[in-house]
Structure 1
Amino acid sequence: MYETIYHRPTSVEHAIQLFSTAQDAKFLSGGQTLLPTMKQRLAAPSDVIDLRHIAALAGISLADGQLSIGAAVTHADVAASTDVRQAIPALAELASHIGDPHVRQMGTLGGSVANNDPAADYPAAVVALEATIHTNARSLSASDFFTGLFDTALQDGELITRISFTVPQKAAYAKFANPASRYAMAGVFIARHADNSIRVAVTGAGSDGVFRHEEMESALSANWSVDAISGISVDAGQMLSDIHGSSAYRANLVKVMAKRAVETAH
């Protein structure tokens, strides 16, 4: 690991000020991606700004059909939260299967969403639940936030402060996890909203990161059942292909996980 300067701000404003005056700073949330890359000397920030002790980034609240989760809330806390389990059980279930216990105790919602790993679980939930990502500067819809592999609409020095979710009528998440890393080789989050609209979001499989499967959405809107998507094919040409699974394999996994999510939502 290269030499770096560690900062521990206690406010969002202080964190932003530190970032703006550093030569090449990185925000540290859970550190599940940044720290390993630093240890491997694949990243060498001049300054590391630890966000974990900022009170404004903590907390979970539920009011008026809106679930709000602070960016620094860990996966373990999302999984254990009574408010999350009451409002969106599928989100709590998703969080409970991220990585291993160590990852869940350290990794955070905001860090995962900001990193936008193509195999991460949260992006599928954020997209399917039509979440709003709040930053220190603005609020962004999920459809505007994710822009490609490891890429988001966040500007330099902008950080996520919280994410708000509208409570759906029904929701479920199913994933096929890599047995070693527990990352999703294919994960499908399906949500039915109060206006009866359906969103189907896929993570872990797409060649450009998280995406919506609009054909499945239309089919489920007309017939909320597993049978509705039985005849739908997933384009293998749009899927990732690597040592863990071919594009055709992932295309099949997406369909299987979608069926499981619908069954669970029922």
Structure 2
Amino acid sequence: MYEFTYRRPSSLDEAKRLIAEEDGQALSGGQTLMPVLRARLAMPSMLVDLTRLDELKSVSMEGERIVILGATTHAEVASNPLVHEHCPALAALAGGIGDPQVRHRGTIGGSVANNDPAACYPSACLALDAEIRTDRRTIAARDFFTSMFETALEQGEIVTAVSFPACREAHYEKFPNPASRFALIAVFAARLGGQTRLAVTGGGTGVFRWQGGEGAADQGGDLATASLDEAHFTGDLHASTAYRMHLTRVMAQRALAAIG
């Protein structure tokens, strides 16, 4: 590790000011950021801890939308009665992230801001047409996840909440890496407005909507032959490109079967 300044602000306004003062980096759960710092892949001069800001922790309903504030942990999402009532698939997704230690430290805001190509939440955001709220604006999920580990966030911008529509016709099917519990391949399936939506994570290049599979599902076609772009997938020591593509079809079929 290297030397840096650690600051624990008492308000979001103070956090924004600290980040703007110098090369500050927001710290939420730290489940990805800390390993990155240890490897010196990033070297911010200041860490600004958001985890103790009560104004960034809660789950509430705004009309027909579930609003989860950015510092809410995975464990809190998994156990929240509002999430269970209005989108049980999202609660199940959160309950399957990592292990208990990760779930009690990691946050939804940190996860979507990091946009790991094998993370779980980005698939729910895309499939459910979520909105990512920051201290500056609201960004539609389809515009937020731009590339592997990249988002539409600007320098110093903080994810303050993620808003999901209520949706009981949804299911998350995950084939986890047995060591990391990240998705080797996972598919979040949802039916919104009478249409099927399928979002895939774990392919290797970043989360994406599988539109070929969506069209096949809505038209009563076979997912086994639906068009699937190989460019979304990479191979590594855990799985080849071909295997990940095969798993995508299998996980999507299982997710849709669970919805009924």
Q: What is the TM-score with the length of structure 2 in the denominator?
A: 0.96
Equivalent position of 2:190 in the other structure: 191
Q: Quick one: distance in 1 between partners of 2:62 and 2:163?
A: 11
User: Partner of 1:16: helix, strand, or coil?
Assistant: helix
Instruction: Give deviations 1:90-143, integer Å, cap 9, x for gaps.
Output: 101011110111100000000000000001000000000000000000000001
Equivalent position of 1:83 in the other structure: 82
Equivalent position of 1:249 in the other structure: 243
Equivalent position of 2:202 in the other structure: 204
Alignment of 1:216-255 (within 5 A): 216-223=213-220, 228-255=222-249
Q: Quick one: distance in 2 between partners of 1:231 and 1:157?
A: 44
- In structure 1, what residue type is equivalent to 2:3? E
Equivalent position of 1:10 in the other structure: 10
Q: What is the TM-score with the length of structure 1 in the denominator?
A: 0.94
Equivalent position of 2:212 in the other structure: 215
Equivalent position of 1:117 in the other structure: 116
Equivalent position of 2:69 in the other structure: 70
Instruction: Give deviations 1:50-109, integer Å, cap 9, x for gaps.
Output: 001112211001242110001000000111111111111110101111011110000000
Q: Which moved more, 1:31-40 or 1:248-257?
A: 31-40
Q: Quick one: distance in 2 between partners of 1:110 and 1:39?
A: 21
Backbone CA RMSD of aligned residues: 1.3
Q: Quick one: distance in 1 between partners of 2:249 and 2:89?
A: 19
Q: Quick one: distance in 1 between partners of 2:13 and 2:120?
A: 29
Offset at 1:11? 1.6
Q: Quick one: distance in 1 between partners of 2:67 and 2:19?
A: 26
Equivalent position of 1:167 in the other structure: 166
Offset at 1:206? 4.5
Cα contact 2:86–2:168 (8 A) shared by 1: no
Cα contact 1:190–1:261 (8 A) shared by 2: yes
Cα contact 1:56–1:161 (8 A) shared by 2: no
Cα contact 1:98–1:121 (8 A) shared by 2: yes
- In structure 1, what residue type is equivalent to 2:178? P
Cα contact 1:187–1:257 (8 A) shared by 2: yes
Q: Quick one: distance in 2 between partners of 1:236 and 1:119?
A: 17
Equivalent position of 1:178 in the other structure: 177
- In structure 2, what residue type is equivalent to 1:78? V
Offset at 1:169? 4.6
Offset at 1:35? 1.2
Residues paired across the two proteins, number: 260
Offset at 1:25? 1.4
Instruction: Give deviations 1:25-50, integer Å, cap 9, x for gaps.
Output: 11100000111222233332210000
Q: Quick one: distance in 2 between partners of 1:9 and 1:15?
A: 5
- Unpaired runs of 5+ residues, structure 1, are none
Offset at 1:153? 0.2
User: Partner of 2:34: helix, strand, or coil?
Assistant: helix
Q: Quick one: distance in 2 between partners of 1:222 and 1:256?
A: 18
Cα contact 1:131–1:165 (8 A) shared by 2: yes
Q: Does 1:55 align with 2:49?
A: no
Change (3 A) 1:169 1:79: closer
